[in-house]
Amino acid sequence: MLGSAWNKGPRRKYESRVEKEVVELKGACGIDMEELQSAVECYSLKVSTVPEKGRSLFVTRDFYPGEVIICQEPYVCVPNNSSSHQVRCDGCFTATNLRKCSRCHVVWYCGSTCQKSEWKLHRLECEALSRLDKDKRQSVTPSIRLMLKLYIRRKLQNEKIIPNTAMDNYNLVQTLVAHMSDITEEQLVLYAQMANLVHLIFQWPEINIKEIAENFSKFACNAHTISDSELRPLGTGLYPVISIINHSCLPNSVLVFEGRSASVRAVQHVPKGTEVLISYIETAGSTMTRQKALNEQYLFTCTCPRCSKVGQYDDIQESAILEGYRCKNEKCDGFLIRTTDGKEFQCQHCGLARDKEEIKKIANELRSLSEEEASKLSSTGNYQEAICIYKTVEKLQTKIYHPFSIWLMQTRDKILKSLMELEHWSEALAYCKLTIPVYQRVYPAVHPLLGLQYYTCGKLEWYLGGTEEAVKSLTKAVDTLRITHGTNTPFMKELLMKLEEARAEASYNWSSTER
């Protein structure tokens, strides 16, 4: 275990975040801020300090929807290789033609190109992992591997084996906020245990266990989930410059990935002098839900324009629609608010009330159903059984929740995915169409999840012969995703090609009927 002075004694008193960030901007940790400023200037950006936020990224020219604001390769990254995730290549994250490293038996590669590109880093990691017995080696998690790679990269850069740049150096990692004074004792003990494991694997006397534990806390606050073009998680990466970008529940930019490379794209006009803002969390939720997620994961309270409306009528209405109950009159789409005596929920449109006990009874029925069991069934390929559970959940949710409820939307999304796995295309399309109006309500007009839902709808419509409807859906998908994803990725090229083919088919069908 970690030394008692740190593990059991009083925690170190950290400076306030703002004071800490100001010190960093003046050049703490040996980082040359002038070099970093010069590097981000190439992207028409500037790093500045904002009260209560610390370091922030601002644009020095106007950016327009679809423009790349900044892109960065990860300082370190790992695929989510574990018993619950598909194995992927350490170099490119592909899941095909993989072969295991013959020495450590932990890392996988798709071929010699990726193996060679990763060899400088993996040589030292492989050496360390190979010293472990087989059982311990198999229990090395992606988080542990990410930390191993962090220290190996630092070592190789210090020894000039791989180069340092203003946007690619360990000093940038040192300046990231760790929030060590804010985390729970349980979290602190977990980080200490993980740090000890890293120290045990390396057996390098020069690495500091306390620093390793602090870096685990930095990962929790600053690492990003690497996703594919359809936002399916592939791995985890640390992008120190992109980590400077702050959160908003009404972001002007979106973070997307192409392979391991991260790009921040403007989703609206970002005028010169404006702060670049992305969302750290799923924004389809009430202010209370969003604030809870941000406090638990990132240890701060959001004060964006959307969150500043907390307690106002519009915010109460939105929360009641997204996470509250439906009117007793099924033809009414009003939202319910608890009455002053707390015994009923009254519709704010038609005035009908629902008894709290009636709602509680249905809620208890919902709790008795195991969605976790359905999720396990889906992950093991038992989609039909999973659908049966999800449909029972859906039936109860339609009795209790508002038609625009995010809980109902999420359940229908799960049914949709399972139906597609079973190739039940017609029913899948019906469920997809049920979710679209909710997506349109809970997300901005330019949001990757909305664009991807249009894409799913268009593919299903086209496959089932609804070519004209498919053209409309695919056009909406392209209009959104060309902004969030660009047009040069294989995913977008395939989508654009599908749209052109659907348009050609619709044109042919129309001309045939005219004859």
pLDDT in tens, 102-119: 999 999 999 999 999 999
Q: Is 277 left (phi over 0), alpha (psi -120 to 50) or beta?
A: beta
Give me the pLDDT at residue 4, please. 28
Quick one: pLDDT band at residue 32, thresholds 50, 70, 90? low
Q: What is the model's pLDDT at position 131?
A: 92
Percentage with pLDDT > 90 across the chain = 82
Question: Kindly report the CA angle at 424 between 418 and 425, in degrees rounded to 5?
Answer: 105
- pLDDT more than 70, % of the chain: 93
What are the chain's domains?
A: 14-182+223-278 (2.170.270.10), 443-515 (1.25.40.10)
Which amino acid belongs to residue 408?
Answer: L
Q: What is the DSSP letter of 233?
A: E
Output the pLDDT for position 13.
Answer: 33
Question: What whole-number distance in Å separates Cα of residue 504 and Cα of residue 460?
Answer: 17
Q: Is the pLDDT of residue 12 over 80?
A: no
Beta strand segments in 114-249, E? 224-227, 233-238, 246-247
In whole angstroms, give the CA distance from residue 122 to residue 193: 24
Please name every residue paired with 68 in a beta bridge, in sequence order, or none if there are none.
Answer: 265
| pLDDT band at residue 515 under the 50/70/90 scheme | low
- Compute the average pLDDT of residues 239-252: 96
H-run or E-run covering 258: strand 253-258
Statement: residue 14 has pLDDT above 90? no
Using the predicted structure, report yes or no on whether residue 136 has a pLDDT greater than 90.
no
Band (289; pLDDT cuts 50, 70, 90): very high
Whether the pLDDT of residue 27 is over 60: the answer is: no
Q: In angstroms, rounded to a whole number, what is the distance separating the alpha carbons of residues 400 and 404?
A: 12
Which pLDDT belongs to residue 2?
32
> How many other C-beta atoms are found inside a 10 Å radius of the C-beta of residue 16?
11
Question: Among candidates 348, 297, 341, 343, which has minimal Cα distance to 320?
Answer: 348
Residue that wins the pLDDT comparison between 19 and 202: 202
Average model confidence (pLDDT) across the chain: 90
pLDDT at 83: 65
* Residue-level pLDDT at 514: 62
pLDDT for 385 equals 95
Q: Residue 244 pLDDT > 90, yes or no?
A: yes
- Asked if the model's pLDDT at residue 198 lies above 90, the reply is yes
pLDDT at residue 451, as a whole number: 98
